[in-house]
A and B are shown apart, each in its own frame.
Chain A
C-alpha cells in the first residue's frame, strides 16, 4: 500500500479543496499509518505554535527613537531647504535683473569669495554621492548630522539676507558666511568618511 507523502498530508490541512485532496482524505480515513502521520503533523504544528516567545536581550527603543527623530529632522531640513532654495533663486533672479552691474562687481571684486563658493559647491557635490540610507549609521551620527545640516540651512537664509544688503560690509559678511558654510560641509564629509568617531565644531 502506498502511503501519502508529506506534501499530500500538508495539503490536507490547507483550506479549500485542491484536485486530489479528496482522495487523500479518503485514504487517511482508511490507512492507520497515514492517519497516525497526519495526527503527528498536527501535533508538531501545535508544538511549534506553543514555543516560547523569544525576547531581545536589551532595550532598543532609545536608539530607534533617536534615529527616527534624526530622520524626521533631516526630512524637515530637506523640505525647508528646497523651499529656501526656491525663494533664494527667485530673489537672486530679481536682484540680478534689477542690479546686474552691482552683482558682477561683487564677484569680480573678490576672487577669494569665488574660491570659497567654488569649494562649497564641490563639497555639496561630494556629499550628494553618499547613499542617504548608509549615511545614517547610529543615533549619535544622526544627531550630529542633523545639527550640522540645520546650521547650513540657517547660513543659507543669512546669505539670502546679506545679498540684499547695500552696505560696504556686504562683501566681508558674505565671505564670512561662505567660509563657515564650507567648514560645516567639511565636517559633514568627516562624518561620512570617519563614521562620526569625532567631529569638532
Chain B
C-alpha cells in the first residue's frame, strides 16, 4: 500500500492533464516531501535535491498524459524522481570517483572506534552505494529495477548493497563477535 496518497486522484487527473494549476498544486503538496526525501537521500547536496524536486514535478506535469492509471500515481511520480536523482548523480560524476573506486574516504585513525549514528553512516557511503541502499531497502525497488534505472547489471546492484551493509555494520559498531 502506498505511504502517500493524493485525495481523489480520479477527479484531479483530468485537471492535471488540462494544466490546471490548482490540481498541480494538490499533486505537489501530496508528494513534495517524499520526492524531496528520496532526492536528498540519493543526492549529495540540498541544492541538487531541490533541483531534482523541481525537475521531477516539471516532468510529471509535462508527461501526465502518459500516466494511464495502471499503477498508483505515487509509484509513477517516485520512479520519475528516482530517475531524475540518478541522472543528477551521473551528471555530477566528474566530481566523484565512486564509479571507478567505490571506497569511501579512508578512515581516520580515531574513526575506527567511532560509533556513528545511522544518518551519518548513510551520508558517508558513496553516492552509488547510498542510492542502492535507499532504493532497495527503503523504497522497495528490486535489484532488477535498480539495475535498469542505473544502467548497470543486477550483480552490480547486489554487490553494492552487500558492500554498503558491511560498511554500515562496521561504522555502527554492530559487528558480531565470533
Which positions in A face B, CB cutoff 8 Å? 3, 5-7, 10-11, 14, 33, 36-37, 40-41, 44-45, 47-49, 51, 53-58, 60-61, 63-65, 67-69, 71-72
Nearest neighbor of B172 in chain A, beta-carbon distance: A44
Nearest neighbor of A32 in chain B, beta-carbon distance: B176
What CA separation (Å) do A58 and B166 show in the bound complex?
A: 36
Q: Assess A60 versus B21: contact at CB under 8 Å? Given A37-B176, A48-B138, A55-B33.
A: no
The answer on a CB contact under 8 Å between B32 and A49 is no
The answer on a CB contact under 8 Å between A48 and B133 is yes
The answer on a CB contact under 8 Å between A44 and B122 is no
User: 9 smallest A-B Cβ distances: which pairs?
Assistant: A7-B162, A6-B162, A68-B61, A54-B40, A56-B36, A53-B37, A45-B137, A54-B37, A6-B166
Which of A14, A44, A58, A67 has the most chain B CB within a 10 Å cutoff?
Answer: A44
How many whole Å from B88's CB to the nearest CB in chain A? 15
Nearest neighbor of A1 in chain B, beta-carbon distance: B178
The answer on a CB contact under 8 Å between A60 and B50 is yes
Among the listed B33, B46, B57, B137, which residue makes an inter-chain contact with A48, where contact means beta carbons less than 8 Å apart?
B137
Nearest neighbor of B161 in chain A, beta-carbon distance: A10
Among the listed A5, A10, A44, A56, which residue makes an inter-chain contact with B32, where contact means beta carbons less than 8 Å apart?
A56
The answer on a CB contact under 8 Å between A41 and B165 is yes
Nearest neighbor of B62 in chain A, beta-carbon distance: A71
Nearest neighbor of A34 in chain B, beta-carbon distance: B176
What CA separation (Å) do A187 and B33 show in the bound complex?
A: 39
Q: Assess A68 versus B24: contact at CB under 8 Å? Given A44-B168, A55-B36, A60-B53.
A: yes
The answer on a CB contact under 8 Å between B40 and A68 is no
Of residues 102 through 137 on chain B, the ones whose CB sits less than 8 Å from some CB of chain A are: 118-119, 122, 133-134, 137
The answer on a CB contact under 8 Å between B138 and A49 is yes
| Residue B83 is within 8 A (CB to CB) of chain A in the complex | no
The answer on a CB contact under 8 Å between A7 and B58 is no
Nearest neighbor of A44 in chain B, beta-carbon distance: B168
Dominant secondary structure at the A interface: helix
New A-B pairs, 6, CB < 8 Å, besides A5-B162, A7-B162, A61-B28 = A7-B158, A41-B165, A54-B49, A56-B53, A65-B21, A65-B24
The answer on a CB contact under 8 Å between B118 and A10 is no
Q: Assess A48 versus B166: contact at CB under 8 Å? Given A54-B41, A55-B36.
A: no
Q: Assess A64 versus B137: contact at CB under 8 Å? Given A6-B162, A53-B37.
A: no
What CA separation (Å) do A57 and B46 show in the bound complex?
A: 9
What CA separation (Å) do A37 and B169 show in the bound complex?
A: 9
How many whole Å from A105's CB to the nearest CB in chain B? 47
What CA separation (Å) do A47 and B34 show in the bound complex?
A: 17
| Residue B10 is within 8 A (CB to CB) of chain A in the complex | no
| Residue B2 is within 8 A (CB to CB) of chain A in the complex | no
| Residue B174 is within 8 A (CB to CB) of chain A in the complex | yes
| Residue B25 is within 8 A (CB to CB) of chain A in the complex | yes
A-B contact pairs, 6 of them (CB 8 A): A44-B118, A45-B137, A48-B133, A51-B122, A51-B138, A68-B24
| Residue B92 is within 8 A (CB to CB) of chain A in the complex | no
Nearest neighbor of A67 in chain B, beta-carbon distance: B58
| Residue B79 is within 8 A (CB to CB) of chain A in the complex | no
What CA separation (Å) do A7 and B138 show in the bound complex?
A: 18
What CA separation (Å) do A71 and B19 show in the bound complex?
A: 11
Instruction: Specify which chain B residues have a CB less than 8 angstroms from the CB of A63 in the assembled complex.
Output: 54
| Residue B153 is within 8 A (CB to CB) of chain A in the complex | no
